Structure 1
Amino acid sequence: MHRSIVRGGIAAAVASVLLQLGGCGSGGDSGTGSSSTAPATTTSIGGTVAAGSALAGAKLTLIDASGARATATTDTQGAYSLSVKNMTLPFFIVAKDASGLSAPLVSVVAKLPAGSAPAVVNVTTLTTALAAMLTSSGNPLDLASTGTLAKVTLQAVQLATITLDTILANLLQQNGIPSAGFDPVGVAFTPNHSGADAVIDSVSVVTSANGGRTLVSNAAPGAGVALNNKTAMGAVLAAPPAPANYLEPLAALLTACAANGTLNAASCTPALDASFKENGSTDLAGAHGLTDAQMTGAVFGSPKTLAFFTRNGKQLALVQLPFTLASGQPGLLYSIAQALATPVTLAGGAQLGWDLLGDQSSFAVALTSQLQRRTFVDTRLNDVNRYEAGLDITIPTAANPNVYSASVTGPGLAAPVWLMPHAASGDNTLALADTALSAPPVAPATTSSNTSLYRWSWQSLSSTASFSAPASSGYYAAQAVDAGSVPLYSTYTVTFYDRNGVQLGQSSVINPGSALNASAGNAAQWPTLIMNDATTQFLTPGTALAAAQYALSITWSTPVDGLDLTVPVNSVQIQASALAGSSLQQVNGFSAGQPNNTTAGQYQTTVSAGVDSSGTQTCTNCPFPALATGGSRSIQLRGGQSGIAYYDVTQFND
């Protein structure tokens, strides 16, 4: 009740500001109020697409209130232009990151200034937050529906703009921008980490537990503001302790090191601290499963700070490092930066006040949020199509030769989660224990779970079939967890043990993704596995391809209606198991290289048995076993975006 009163009282108090924004503001509302549908009063628009750094090569799609569309692609500075002649307001604009590694950015336009000059319409983190505030769900992509878009009102977007300005007051003041009347959509800016761009640098729009959006400042990401049409003006985000460009020198320094084929602590100073260590490696590439040879010629983009924090008296930051390989393949690394007691003066006089310290872990381990859609093609009563969510815990075996098992504790985990070796060929990571453990396993114990995906939340896709997690399982929580109670960028403690159960050490690991409930699967954009003859036979007993197979071609599709917002698939895995007497035979396989874009919206790759995620053949003469009584096969389309791993799984269980 209090929130409604606060929000309702804003309109009367800021009438003059509403008038100020009326000529160039954007947005609308899918709630109450009359539609603002009207012909555009200018013939073209243009602006900047940026999330702090400019998004080059981003594809823009504009949808007007009648459903008409127009597209454009941004230049190297994130700039674009579009003709909107004869189009009908309001407009919905979505910009898809060319790399697919970051979530789409959104902007909504309810009114344009009169005249023939191009109107400024930016598409940024801030405009995405504004659009989310015009929906009941908090998901700005809901506005892509023309029925919803046509209900957008100018008054609603003006009110949302004022609310957003209040939330951003500290950051606007820090960067010399008056908080009254700031229009993130209609005010031109340069993506140079100053002014409005510095504000964009300092915030993130993250996925909320149930699939909505939350606006957070990197100064205090735990105190974010949930975005929807009920968002009020009470919360004000904290301003960061460092200027937005404080890490900018690192991009050029890391690029220079990559050009020389050296990304280790000894050869890449001052970018890497002398004590740099991450995932058990003193080499930045090796710490993330890459080699210096693979990274040779890579170009690093501007670092993005996700969170500032203090540990052991040191001022640190969780940072995202974008890069593009010489082949053109994009990627992201997450690392830890530290403030230097004495800044380093670089050639040309620039000051470097921070360097990369790494997570200081002596073991290789990665942990992120995960969301699954599991579809079953068998008729077993207990195989219920469902969404599942939790943590993806990756502990590579080759990088941890002395590690036999590990336990994980932290937010959202009521009891330690255990990982250990499994017998499946074609995989190179530890797997979750079959059942809950109370002590480290001792060799030669193994698990048959064949997964590193821990599930703390699940939701059936059918209203007539319900799924219940196993009563005793090492990879399902004993009771479902509300991920809304798990803090953003939570730290987990991973304890490592040898084959005799003796503790080897511990690591503190930060989850760079937001914690999700299974219900977030309803808001995710999923690819579609094409069930052609080969795929159908592979997942059907008694067919030709139900016999043992060494490889399978996998094809999937994404929408071809000009608005492809699905999470990109960057690898495909097949898991197959069969009973051999009283033992279970398991063989996994991964695709190698980037998938082929065969036709519009359709992709293909080949998955080979025994090939692990690095592309290494781990065994000889080890086909996917035949699908027979007691056996199982699954095809997993795997992707990642904004620190969240997505798995679309199609499975047959006999």
Structure 2
Amino acid sequence: MHRSIVRTGIAAAVACVFLPLGGCGNGGDSGTGSSGTAPATTTSVSGTVAAGSALVGANVTLIDATGAQATATTNAQGAYSIPVKGMTLPFFIIATDAGGLSAPLSSVVARLPTGTAPAVANVTTLTTALAAMLTASGNPIELASNSTLAKLTLQSVQLATITLDTILTNLLKQNGLQTAGFDSIGTAFTPNHTGADAVIDSVSLVTGANGGRALASNAAPTTTIVLNNKTAQGVVLAAPPVAANYLEPLAPLLSACAANGALNNTSCSPAIDTAFKESGSNDLATAHGLTDSAMTGAVFGSPKTLAFFMRNGKQLALVQLPLTLANGTPAVLYSIAQPLATPVTLTSGMQLGWNLIGDQSSFAVAIMSHIQRRTYLDTRLSDVNRYESGLDIKIPTASNPNVYSASVTGPGLAAPVWLMPRSASGSSSLGLADSALSAPPVTPATTGSNTSQYRWSWQSRSSTASFTPPASTGFYAAQSLDAGSVPLYSTYTVTFYDINGAQRGQSSVINPGRPLNAAAGSSIPWPTLLMNDATTQFLTPGTALADVQYALSVTWSGLVNDGLNLAYPVTSTGIAAAAQTSAGGEQVNGFTLGPANNTTGGQYQATVRAGVDPAGVQTCTNCPFPALTAGGSRLIQLSGARDGTESLDITQYND
């Protein structure tokens, strides 16, 4: 729903654009005043990189109008400084967090202040939203191209600033900031969950259905504002019902529990409620496929609220829990928080007013948005290079021993989507049915689809070839959906059945990712599978590595956009191989987990072994990847996730 923005004081704000620097605002370097007459003598740009919390160790790259680059790394407070002497305005700044689990943040500098003081250029959720409003597509990475950046004007930055301030009116007012003339780029701030940082805490910058950026408040996430250079009307975002730092006591409490190796509902009270249950477990680690021993020593960061919502007459919150495991691996968990009837006073003197209650599901299940890029090396007419998107529905078999199948209903699903046991070796979760079902399957039925990724949108990457999904399958929608019609953070009902088709129970599951159309694939910085001798031979019939193989070393690059390392971090490398013979098809999967070896700048390597499931468990012995012969197929998959959305880059050969 959209309506015209009522812009309080907008006439005065527009006037500020054309007044001398001292007449309005705070004199920041982002372009809220005119350029003045004195020459710019500033030799450095500095600021804070934050997405609610400071991003420590973030890689910051500044690109000028000629394409020249300078880099820096943020300190423990998220601060950075980059020398700019001799560089040409305007500047585009892009920052990537050390773990790569959040999308890159962006900022722009359209002018430098007079004098010798460093120019302030923050890089935050808000500045990224503003940068998105300076592009036609809403994707701020467009500005990394110096030909595009050189066309950026001071006036366009000023007008985008005014529009953003209007959108944020309620949030700025709630946190004691001026509602007209607020400069998100040039105003120095401290990432302490108050003031400007509290505004950042209260909003989410999500990928739009078609790949641009959209802004939403956690108070009313079903209302999103699409950001691009035509964003001029829309709603004023709602302010949240509690202060932005309301969950701050949870981080040290959870870290203390992790230090003791106990994240369950009895040993980690009051942070984890005694009634906590999530994905069938009373333990936060187990609920997310981790062991308490793996979580021992983990350090939790500041929780991020994605959405406040009501369930059974009670206000709850969908929260994101960032953490760093003891081995240095970054991770993100999603859970549900609730208000306490009586706040708890901690030994530190802080008041804990909310704790984790979990999704209250008796079954292990997770649903998140997915998007994939498929590249075919063969020449079959039906194998069209394409993007696909939809929902990834993960129901692990080991955690649900009495579950044989499940159906899923909810936004974007015209009919129940069914999952059942897979026929492939090396699998640890139910797969989508490979044909449309009207009733729960019973033992010994299995599916050959070998996927948990339901597709509701698809688009050819070729201007000359089109793709039509096969009819009557269980993992393609009957017709393509516009994901823009699916609300952010939608809830899905999952019904579970046993081997005889009898119902075992139901769960309500929230998707923490943004629903996407396949068209969004063209805006994603994808990793590049390096087609070296080993990879090429493994995916080519008649070569030395086309024979039976037990393992393969896979190499890829994360460098995109003129050498920027912006591709999503690959956290799971997979291989699926099938041999179609007269005796029946044989299909074997293999996966490797965790961060890959960084061989050189921007290049990574991992070894995938046959029969290893996505949890890293060897599920079978002497089950190599079958040879790539007549009628067979092989694929290599590079998977990772950002902001609740899974991305998969798939390179495949079908004989």
Within 2, Cα distance between the matches of 1:5 and 1:428? 50
Give the AA of the match of 2:631: G
Partners of 1:448 and 1:592 lie apart in 2 by: 24
Amino acid in the other structure paired with 1:651 = Q
Change (3 A) 1:316 1:463: same
Q: Tell me the equivalent position of 1:621.
A: 622
1:579: Cα distance to partner? 2.2
Residues 186/64 of structure 1: CA separation in 2 closer, same or farther (3 Å cut): same
TM-score (norm 1): 0.96
Identify if the C-alpha distance between structure 1 residues 184 and 493 changes in structure 2 by more than 3 Å, giving closer, same or farther.
same
Distance 1:179 1:23, change over 3 A: closer
Seen in structure 2, the aligned counterparts of structure 1 residues 49 and 271 have a Cα distance that, compared at 3 Å, is same
User: Does the 8 Å CA contact 1:18/1:158 hold for their aligned counterparts?
Assistant: no
| Rounded Cα–Cα distance in structure 2 between residues aligned with 1:384 and 1:21 | 55
How many residue pairs get aligned? The number is 647
* C-alpha distance in 1 between matches for 2:131 and 2:3: 19
| 2:147 match: secondary structure | helix
SS at match of 2:391: strand
User: Which deviations, in whole Å up to 9, do the C-alpha atoms of 1:538-572 show, x marking residues without a partner?
Assistant: 11112221111100111111227542111111110
- Alignment partners' CA distance in 2, 1:105 and 1:58: 10
SS across alignment from 1:387: strand
- Map of 2:480 onto structure 1: 480
Cα deviation, residue 16, structure 1: 3.0
Partner of 2:631: 630
1:32: which partner in 2?
none
Paired letter, 2:636? I
CA–CA distance in structure 2, aligned partners of residues 465 and 233 of structure 1:
38
Name the counterpart of 2:72: 72
Which residue is 2:319 aligned to? 319
Instruction: Give the secondary structure class of the aligned counterpart of 1:66.
Output: coil
Q: 1:105 to 1:120 in 2, by over 3 A?
A: same
* CA apart distance, 1:343: 0.8
Partner amino acid for 2:633? Answer: S
* Matching residue of 1:608: 609
Looking at structure 2, the residues matched to 49 and 18 of structure 1 have their Cα atoms a distance apart, in angstroms, of: 29
How far 1:591 moved relative to its partner? 1.4
When residues 226 and 269 of structure 1 are mapped into structure 2, their CA distance, relative to the original with a 3 A threshold, is same
**Residues 280 and 361 in structure 1, CA contact (< 8 A), matched pair in contact too:** yes
- Contact 2:25–2:183 at 8 Å: present in 1 too? no
In structure 1, the residue matched to 2:499 is 499
Deviation at 1:532, TM superposition (A): 1.3
Contact residue 21 and residue 183 of structure 1 kept, 8 A: no
Opposite residue 587 of structure 1, the aligned amino acid is V
Q: How far did residue 22 of structure 1 move?
A: 8.2
Aligned partners of 2:537 and 2:294: how far apart in 1?
A: 37
Task: Report the equivalent of 1:464.
Answer: 464
Secondary structure, aligned partner of 2:222: helix
1:141 is aligned with what amino acid? I
Partner of 1:399: 399
Q: Which amino acid aligns with 1:84?
A: V
Q: Is the 8 A contact 1:22 1:158 kept in 2?
A: no
What is the rounded CA distance, in whole Å, between the counterparts of 2:3 and 2:498 in structure 1? 54
User: 1:11-410, aligned counterparts within 5 Å?
Assistant: 14-16=14-16, 18-19=18-19, 20=23, 24=27, 41-410=41-410
The change in CA–CA distance for 1:185 and 1:260 in structure 2 (over 3 A counts) is: same
Q: What TM-score, normalized to structure 2?
A: 0.96
Counterparts of 1:233 and 1:412 in 2: how far apart (Å)?
27
Give 1:14 shift.
2.3
Cα shift at 1:28: 8.1
CA RMSD of aligned residues (A): 2.1
2-structure distance, mates of 1:234, 1:376: 42
2: CA distance, partners of 1:241 / 1:425: 49
* Mapped contact 1:587–1:610 kept (Cα < 8 A): yes
User: 2-side partners of 1:307 and 1:264: how far apart?
Assistant: 24
**Aligned mates of 2:488, 2:456 — CA distance in 1:** 16
Q: Cα distance 1:92–1:4, how it changes in 2: closer, same or farther (>3 A)?
A: farther
Q: 1:66 Cα shift?
A: 1.2
Query: What is the rounded CA distance, in whole Å, between the counterparts of 2:189 and 2:26 in structure 1?
Result: 18
Residue 24 and residue 108 in structure 1: after superposition, are their counterparts in 2 closer, same or farther (change >3 A)?
farther
Q: Distance in 1 between matches of 2:487 and 2:31?
A: 31
Q: 1:344 touches 1:351 (CA, 8 Å); kept in 2?
A: yes
Rounded to whole Å, the distance in 1 between the matches of 2:318 and 2:595 is 28
Alignment match, 1:576: 577
Q: 1:22 to 1:88 in 2, by over 3 A?
A: farther
| Cα deviation digits, residues 601-652 of structure 1 (max 9, x gap) | 2111100000011111110000011111221111001111111100000001
Check the 8 A contact 2:95/2:104 in 1, yes or no.
yes
Query: Aligned letter for 2:618?
Result: Q
* Residues 406, 236 of structure 1: alpha-carbon distance in 2 compared, 3 angstrom cutoff: same
- The aligned amino acid for 1:608 is R
| Identical amino acids, percent of aligned pairs | 74
d(CA) in 2 for partners of 1:117 and 1:344? 46
Matches within 5 A, 1:636-651: 636-651=637-652
Kept after mapping to 1: 8 A contact 2:581/2:631: no
Q: How does 1:470-619 map to 2 (within 5 A)?
A: 470-559=470-559, 561-619=562-620
Unaligned runs of 5+ in 2: none
Distance in 2 between residues matched to 1:512 and 1:628, nearest whole Å? 41
User: Is 1:455 matched with 2:455?
Assistant: yes
Q: CA deviation at 1:13?
A: 6.8
CA contact (8 A) 2:558 2:568 kept: no
Quote the Cα distance in structure 2 between the aligned partners of 1:632 and 1:274. 49
Q: Deviations along 1:137-173, whole A, 9 cap, x unmatched?
A: 1111111111111111111111111111111110111
Q: What are the residue-to-residue correspondences of 1:417-436 with 2, within 5 Å?
A: 417-436=417-436
| Partner Cα separation in structure 1 for residue 214 and residue 399 of structure 2 | 36
Aligned partners of 1:97 and 1:161: how far apart in 2?
25
Contact map agreement 1:590 1:613 (CA 8 A) in 2: yes
1:337 Cα deviation after fit = 0.1
* Residues 1:389 and 1:592: Cα distance change in structure 2 (over 3 Å): closer
Opposite residue 181 of structure 1, the aligned amino acid is: G
1:436 Cα deviation after fit: 0.9
Residue type of the alignment partner of 1:633? R
Rounded Cα–Cα distance in structure 1 between residues aligned with 2:59 and 2:83: 15
In structure 2, distance between residues paired with 1:636 and 1:28: 44
Q: Return the offset for 1:111.
A: 1.2
Aligned counterparts of 1:318 and 1:411: Cα–Cα separation in 2? 18
Three-state SS of the structure 2 residue aligned to 1:583 is: coil
Distance 1:237 1:3 in 2: 12
SS of equivalent to 2:66: coil
Shift of 1:41: 3.8
SS in 2 for 1:248: coil
Amino acid at match of 2:182: F
Distance in 2 (CA, whole Å) between partners of 1:106 and 1:452 is 33
Distance in 1, matches of 2:629 and 2:315, equals 57
Q: C-alpha separation between the residues in 1 aligned to 2:468 and 2:30? A: 42
